[in-house]
Amino acid sequence: MRVLLAEDRASLRQALAETLRRAGFDAFEAGEGKAAMAFVEEGGYDLALFDLKMPVHSGLDLLRASKARWPLTPVVMLTAYGSVEVAVEAMKVGAADFLAKPVDPEHLLIVVRRAIEVNRAERVHDALSADLTRSPAFQDLIGESPVMRRAQEAALKLAATDTTGLLLGETGSGKELFARAIHRASPRAREPFVAVNCAAIPGTLLENELFGHEKGAYTGAHETRIGRFEFARHGTIFLDEIGEMSPDLQAKLLRVFEEKTFTRVGGVRPIPADVRILCATNRDLEAMVAAKAFRMDLYYRLNAFPIRVPSLRERPEDIPLLADHYVAHFRREMGRPNLALHPEALAYLKDQPWPGNVRELMNRLERAAILCGADGLMEAGLFGGSTSEPSSAQAPPPFPAAGDPEAWLAAEERWRAAQVLRLCGGEGRRAARLLGISSGRLARLVGEGEGAE
């Protein structure tokens, strides 16, 4: 861990630096504000300690500059003037903590470690909160088939190293699931896991998303913004659908591999990239290289340790395990302890080709859980199959007569919205989330249904 220490009293600075180094930190010393500001501009620190009163640039000047350029770096202030007013001002600017002189060495280490740990925990929390792709499909590696076990064993071997990994497989097969498992089993497990879907972000915006931008980099860039690489510092960044990245951005990503640094959009100073990179694609990168659609040098960097994630068609024996896992999840999610899969429905699921893989299986199980009756039995008819004993819960509501498909679909949407809202105990936000619509849209659908009755 790198700590920047700015203190104009040489004896105190050297004593604090020695305390930090004995505790295992790399301490970088600055004896006055100008030298400290140069260190701030350079960046790459896990924490900064600034004396409040220094020549040229004060501790508050350094604090403001640090938070503007490196908003994720925690700053602890040092002062012999421990008034409440000064402490409040520093905290408002963004200081993580405040130490009054004389500084006790043990207390110094407690404050430094706490600030770093709080910062790490906040980054992990923010990474999870910002990750909209989290779902039951990406919580655990489910499967005992031979092909799945081989993939799991390869993932565990990769996790023990810091090598870049390339996850190959069809859409929906669980590549992000494997990436998360690799991160959790790695030495970086306590640091953030940041996922970026390269196909979901327009090429012109992806560079800004990955590397951030400097204030004034372009029209509308009113302040410095950190990118996902900086956010994932010390942790893992997962670049999904890497085959969709533009050639220009491929060249910049190659620089990250070769120099372990990157530059924000509009910036000139390189920023250290202490991050583990995992990538995934459903495309044939080797064929893309041959067609000159993907850089050969970047491909060989990514392909250091490829792992092929099997499709669901290749492991049908895992379908019962996956189905049990998701049905149990929906029991908890929907508050329906009686949800159960009919044996004929399970047989039907095992016979399907599943072009959408695990994600498709999960989505269809969720829909069946929403549509099944009060008895909670998820029958084959809800998946498109047939059952020997039809449930009254599958009887359709009074839809418009055939010949008016738009009115029929509208009635079905209203009925489904009402059913999900009922199963959610009237919790509109939860029902809207399950349906994939806004709360306002749900309210309108339910209101239309009531008016039609």
pLDDT tens-digit map of 237-265: 999 999 999 999 999 999 999 999 999 99
Please name the residue that has the structure tokens 């859409």. 171
Residue 2 has pLDDT above 50, yes or no: yes
Q: In this structure, is residue 372 part of a structural domain?
A: yes
Q: In this structure, is residue 128 part of a structural domain?
A: no
Q: Are residues 183 and 319 in the same domain?
A: no
- Return the number of other C-beta atoms located less than 10 Å from residue 451's C-beta: 8
CATH of the domain at 385: 1.10.8.60
CATH of the domain at 424: 1.10.10
Strands 165-168 and 276-281: parallel
Q: Are residues 385 and 433 in the same domain?
A: no
Q: In this structure, is residue 155 part of a structural domain?
A: yes
Express each pLDDT in 205-231 by its tens digit.
Answer: 999 999 999 888 888 888 888 899 999
Q: In this structure, is residue 278 part of a structural domain?
A: yes
Q: In this structure, is residue 298 part of a structural domain?
A: yes
Contacts of 353 (CB under 8 A, 6+ apart): 313
Report the domain count for the chain.
4
| Per-residue tokens: 288 | 């893309």
433: containing domain: 396-453
Q: Are residues 229 and 94 in the same domain?
A: no
Q: Are residues 267 and 283 in the same domain?
A: yes
Q: Are residues 282 and 166 in the same domain?
A: yes
pLDDT at residue 50, as a whole number = 92
| Per-residue tokens: 420 | 């999900």
3-state secondary structure 379-395: CHHHHCCCCCCCCHHHC
Cα–Cα dist 174/311, whole Å: 9
Q: In this structure, is residue 362 part of a structural domain?
A: yes
3-state secondary structure 281-348: ECCCHHHHHHCCCCCHHHHHHHCCCEEECCCHHHCHHHHHHHHHHHHHHHHHHHCCCCCEECHHHHHH
Residue 337 has pLDDT above 50, yes or no: yes
Q: In this structure, is residue 187 part of a structural domain?
A: yes
Q: In this structure, is residue 131 part of a structural domain?
A: no
Q: Helices (H) and strands (E) in the chain — how many of each? A: 18, 16
Strand, helix or coil for residue 162: coil
Express each pLDDT in 386-419 by its tens digit.
Answer: 444 434 344 445 545 545 566 666 777 787 788 7
DSSP conformational letter for 58: -
pLDDT at residue 165, as a whole number = 94
Q: Are residues 278 and 340 in the same domain?
A: no
pLDDT at residue 161, as a whole number = 92
Query: In the listed set 90, 123, 156, which residue is the last one of a domain according to the structure?
Result: 123
Express each pLDDT in 288-317 by its tens digit.
Answer: 999 999 999 999 999 999 999 999 999 999
Q: Are residues 148 and 252 in the same domain?
A: yes
Q: Are residues 292 and 219 in the same domain?
A: yes
Q: Are residues 89 and 184 in the same domain?
A: no
Q: Are residues 277 and 316 in the same domain?
A: no
Q: Are residues 295 and 406 in the same domain?
A: no
| Per-residue tokens: 194 | 């940041």
Q: Are residues 422 and 273 in the same domain?
A: no
Cα–Cα dist 362/368, whole Å: 10
Query: In the listed set 278, 310, 342, which residue is the last one of a domain according to the structure?
Result: 310
Query: In the listed set 310, 341, 361, which residue is the last one of a domain according to the structure?
Result: 310
Single out the residue of 422, 417, 423, 419 nearest to residue 439, CA to CA: 417
* Torsion sign, CA atoms 80, 85, 89, 95: positive
